[in-house]
Structure 1
Amino acid sequence: MFKIEMSAIDHIFDYDDYRRFLQDYFDEQKKLRAVFSHRFFAAKAGFSSSSYCLNVIRGRFNLTPKSIEKMTKALKLDNRQTKYFAALVEYNQAKRVEERESAWDEITQIRSQNEFNHISHDQKEYFSKWYYPILRELVVHPDFDGDMMHLARAIDPAISTEEARAAVKNLEKWNLIQKTPEGKFQSTSLMLDARNVSPMDLREIRREYVQQAIGAVESKKPSERFATFTTLAMSESSYDYAVKILEEARKKIIAKASDDPIMDKVYEMMIVAFPMSKKFEKENEK
């Protein structure tokens, strides 16, 4: 019964039309609670008109930023669901093409974030070797035919065939990849989230990737890699702004990559900003 009550909200990220989502939600709630109605929800949300929600669902009214806030609170959506609902409203109600495209970019970003799989304690060994994450991306490529030697040599720098074979077995054991009935490999989730992995467990692989980055800057053609170095003097507020912009760019790139139908290569992307000086203090502040 609980799953029936929450099904529309649980699947909100599958909706492209917020009016359809609202219709499904209202239909479910009416089946669960005799007291539930458009009037009941309107009163709960704080709308002055008892028929407001019905008119929204039927396309007679559009939602405003204020009504979105009221509705998401009444629906008890969490932060990510609230952002997604607001993006859906913008997408469905946009009058200009660029507004609609911008809203769709936001939708795809949130969807990609929702498809992250959190690394469990048993899976943290995934980060013990630098080539595990790369192999996880390569082994699910539709052109991979099971040739472990070819797989090992596809990595740059190459690893041994034995290392590739052992890694694939581990990825299966950790349930990070699985075999299809056709004998191909597929990912068990779109992307992995390492927030639950301790910094100590990530330290070695981070060092490996930094070393790989140094080697790439020195050996790869400019057309094959991107590297930029900028020294800036700025306030803490400007730094916070820079972090926000960089994080937004990272999310957009992730969303674009997750929707890319063709995967040619595996890239490692690092965005780093760190202090290279201490904060100046006035003499009278010491």
Structure 2
Amino acid sequence: MNDVLKYTNYHQYIADYYAEKKAKSAFTWQTFTRAAGFSSPVFLKYVSEGRSNLSEDAAVRVASAMSLMGYEQEYFCEMVKLDHAKTDEEKKSIFNRMLAIADIHKVRVVEGDSFRYFDSWKNPVLRELAPAMPGAKPLALAKACRPEITAAEVSESLHFLLKSNFLQKDEKGNYVQTETGVSTGPMEVTPVAVRGMHRQMGEFALEAIEGVPQNERHFSGLTLGITQDVYDEIVQEIAAFRKRIISIATRSEAVDEVYRLNVQFFPMTKKSVKKD
């Protein structure tokens, strides 16, 4: 069975656990459910499909039924808490506890790298800046950032970027990108960090209105009355526009400054109800 510490979705872990047991024996959902102390013979089947959820108390019983003990049981229970969490801050706190358990036991949570990458604006900025400043020391990179950060913060971010293979060093010791871009992918928890990134970048955009010369920034906006169908079409157009921007930006390997492009499209009114 795959290590529970490699999962971030407890529904999927239960589904995989059952599939493996079923392949090796006459294991049934009824057997599994009874071992966890539930009366319904299909309850855990519904949980595995995402149609039902475990309570935090039930999580301990199910973990025990799957022979998860110690830190493995603790991790499984944290996954259940993560599923119940309502706010981004709560989700981040729980997921960081999951990552801490995995780190202690030297297990890499694949989604953890993506989560950590988007959790701080420093990571994507330094991923672009470090290759553009060959031979630069952390202090020089720190002073080039806007807002300015410390050399220690740069070193910490670069260490993470190298360890997680977002950057690597060439034969001269200079930083190079391993991929042209970084995508969130179909992750469970990463969107929480991405929303935090949008908040950070939104604050920087506000500061740039007064803090950056007008000939070095571009701000524009539209206020539109639309329908849901038009909204969907515009979102598709924004996605195509982003791809064209990436294509333009990557035509040349030369970089003399790192920019951030925010694309924001959000409602300014409550949805109206049409009356016949």
* TM-score normalised over the length of structure 1: 0.54
Distance 2:275 2:225 in 1: 20
Question: Is the Cα contact below 8 Å between 1:122 and 1:174 reproduced in 2?
Answer: no
Do structure 1's residue 132 and structure 2's residue 123 form an aligned pair?
A: yes
The C-alpha deviation readout for 1:98-123, integer Å capped at 9, x for no partner, is xxxxxxxxxxxxxxxxxxxxx94131
* One-letter amino acid of the structure 1 residue matched with residue 214 of structure 2: P
Taking the aligned partners of 1:127 and 1:153, their CA distance within structure 2 comes to 22
- Equivalent residues in 2 for 1:13-162, closer than 5 Å: 120-123=110-113, 124-141=115-132, 143-162=133-152
| Overall identity of the aligned pairs, in % | 29
Q: Which amino acid aligns with 1:259?
A: R
Q: Deviations over 1:33-92 (max 9, x none)?
A: xxxxxxxxxxxxxxxxxxxxxxxxxxxxxxxxxxxxxxxxxxxxxxxxxxxxxxxxxxxx
**TM-score, normalization by structure 2:** 0.56
Structure 2 residue 252 is matched with structure 1 residue 260: yes
1: CA distance, partners of 2:210 / 2:136: 33
Is 1:193–2:159 an aligned residue pair?
A: no
**SS at the partner of 1:139?**
helix
Aligned counterpart in structure 2 of residue 211 of structure 1, from 203, 207, 220: 203
**Distance in structure 2 (CA, Å) of the matches to 1:282 and 1:254:** 40
- Indicate yes or no: 2:154 matched with 1:164: yes
- Check if 1:223 corresponds to 2:230: no
Counterpart Cα distance in 1 of 2:274 and 2:127: 52
Amino acid at match of 1:195: G
2:168 to 174, 178, 192: 178
Give aligned pairs, total. 165
Distance in 1, matches of 2:165 and 2:211, equals: 35
Matched, 1:232 2:195: no
Shift of residue 237 of structure 1? 2.5
Q: Which moved more, 1:178-187 or 1:150-159?
A: 178-187
1:270 Cα deviation after fit? 1.2
Tell me how far 1:283 sits from its aligned partner.
Answer: 4.8
Q: Distance in 2 between matches of 1:130 and 1:282?
A: 42
SS at match of 1:162: helix
Distance 1:163 1:196 in 2: 29
For 2:267, give the aligned amino acid.
P
Q: Contact between 1:120 and 1:196, CA under 8 Å: does it hold in 2?
A: no
Whole-angstrom CA distance in 1 between matches of 2:258 and 2:157 = 17
Q: CA deviation at 1:241?
A: 2.6
SS of residue paired to 1:223:
helix
Structure 2, unmatched stretches of 5+, are: 1-108
**What CA distance in whole angstroms lies between the structure 2 residues aligned with 1:183 and 1:272?**
38
1:246-285 to structure 2, matched below 5 A, reads: 246-283=238-275
Kindly indicate whether the alpha-carbon contact (under 8 Å) linking 1:148 and 1:165 is maintained by their aligned counterparts in 2: yes
